[in-house]
Amino acid sequence: MPTVLDDSLLDDPARLAEADSAGLLRAAAMAGAQVRATAEAAAELELAERLDLGRPRALVLIDRPGVSRTVTRLLAALLTPSCPVPVVVAEAVPNWIGALDVVFAHTDDAGDRELAASLERAARYGASVVLSAPAEGPVAAAVAGKGVLLTPRIPVPPELAFPRGLAAGLLTANALGLLVSDVQQLADQLDLEAEKNYLARETFANPAKALALRVAERVPLLWGLDPVAVAVGEHAAHAFAAHAATVCDVEDYRQALARPALRRAAQAGDTERDIFADPDDGPAGARIRLLLLSVRTGPAADAARFQADELLPGADVIVPAEEIEADEIVRAAVLALRFELAAVYLGLAAGSIGGAGRYEPATV
């Protein structure tokens, strides 16, 4: 049965706060605090000093279920263009791991025994290991005394721990001299984004609420104009699925355009459903919302946007660089947070996470 969206909820702070019984909006707004707490933990554990071993042979990013996957994809996209060493994304530590390599992993599953065995093997072969994970359980035990364990200091649900995992990965890359990122500026910008999207701000002045309404009762197509934007789109899709039970299509826009049927649907724009259409026709009759994401700047980014504007004139283009003056790391993280908050708002309005949405039988 279809979900009826209660969009009036979004501009009623009292009802919104009551509907958010799990405190997800507040937890999402703690993104900046997560980054600061992770930076404090890294300083206390002397992460930079412990990784001051010279340039590694390779940086291995371990990809596990949950936000770990989107964290590693974004880190890889940020690192790859200028990283002087190979960046490997894998579900488990490769067999060739050795003392010249560095392994980074983020998880909120303290009992992930596959990850625990993988990290234990990495430590046994002398690799430097940085782990962002809970303090108890097999995963933490696997690196006890043999690696750096960054434990959570700000309690949030696992699906909202993306800022903590990203900060841990950025601090690792900083310590290795593979990337330059200002995590304090990142935390400040995330605070500003959370303030913009506070539940008491009306939809017209709240980018996350506006974004939630844009994709409501649509199939979102999140097409990236650059690799960093694609990685942000993957995190957005995870957030929409986790909070709003909404399925998204995420792709590099050039690859997306290579799929003729979906390309034609995207080029046709967001038209209203035929009133004579059978509601049981399924996905073929679904309305779509095309969002083009652009995080990077420069000639290549400008060319991609120009081409996309020509081929997809009806698309919404989201360009964080037009709103904030910051590097692409900050722009990517801010956009990821906006999508997280939009997903929570949409989930509350649709009732998929206990909000005011209601389910009614389809009527002719």
Phi-psi region of 232 (alpha: psi -120 to 50; beta: other; left: phi over 0): alpha
- 93: Cα separation from own chain's centroid: 23
Q: Please report the pLDDT score of residue 338 as a whole number.
A: 98
* Amino acid in the structure at residue 127: A
Query: In this prediction, what percent of the chain has a pLDDT beyond 70?
Result: 91
* Amino acid in the structure at residue 46: E
State pLDDT tens for residues 165-205.
999 999 999 999 999 999 999 999 999 999 999 999 999 99
3-class secondary structure, 89: strand
Q: Taking 60 as the threshold, does the pLDDT of residue 280 lie above it?
A: no
Q: Taking 50 as the threshold, does the pLDDT of residue 362 lie above it?
A: no
- 236: Cα separation from own chain's centroid: 5
Q: Please report the pLDDT score of residue 279 as a whole number.
A: 43
Token digits for 205?
A: 């002045």
Q: Taking 80 as the threshold, does the pLDDT of residue 81 lie above it?
A: yes
Q: Taking 60 as the threshold, does the pLDDT of residue 273 lie above it?
A: no
3-class secondary structure, 199: coil
* Amino acid in the structure at residue 257: L
State pLDDT tens for residues 230-265.
999 999 999 999 999 999 999 999 999 999 999 999
Question: Out of 24-38, 242-256, 281-295, which region has the weakest mean confidence (pLDDT)?
Answer: 281-295
Q: Please report the pLDDT score of residue 207 as a whole number.
A: 96
Q: Taking 60 as the threshold, does the pLDDT of residue 41 lie above it?
A: yes
**DSSP labels for 122-175?**
HHHTT-EEEEE--SSSHHHHHHTTTSEEE--SS---GGG-HHHHHHHHHHHHHH
Residue 311 and residue 318: Cα distance in Å, rounded? 16
State pLDDT tens for residues 100-132.
999 999 999 999 999 999 999 999 999 999 999
363 versus 271: the higher-pLDDT residue is 271
Q: Please report the pLDDT score of residue 4 as a whole number.
A: 58
Q: Please report the pLDDT score of residue 314 as a whole number.
A: 83
Find the mean pLDDT for residues 277-296: 71
Q: Please report the pLDDT score of residue 352 as a whole number.
A: 82
State pLDDT tens for residues 333-344.
999 999 999 999
157 versus 1: the higher-pLDDT residue is 157
The residues, any chain, with a CB within 8 Å of residue 337's CB and separated by 6 or more, are: 28, 31, 163, 190, 193, 194
What mean pLDDT is reported for the chain?
Answer: 90
Q: Taking 70 as the threshold, does the pLDDT of residue 361 lie above it?
A: no
299 versus 284: the higher-pLDDT residue is 299
Our CA dihedral for 283, 289, 294, 300, rounded to 10 degrees, sits at: 70
Token digits for 59?
A: 């940086």
Query: pTM of the entire structure?
Result: 0.91
Q: Taking 70 as the threshold, does the pLDDT of residue 83 lie above it?
A: yes
Q: Taking 60 as the threshold, does the pLDDT of residue 270 lie above it?
A: no
Q: Taking 50 as the threshold, does the pLDDT of residue 155 lie above it?
A: yes
Q: Taking 80 as the threshold, does the pLDDT of residue 358 lie above it?
A: no
Compute φ and ψ for 135, nearest 5 degrees.
-75, -25
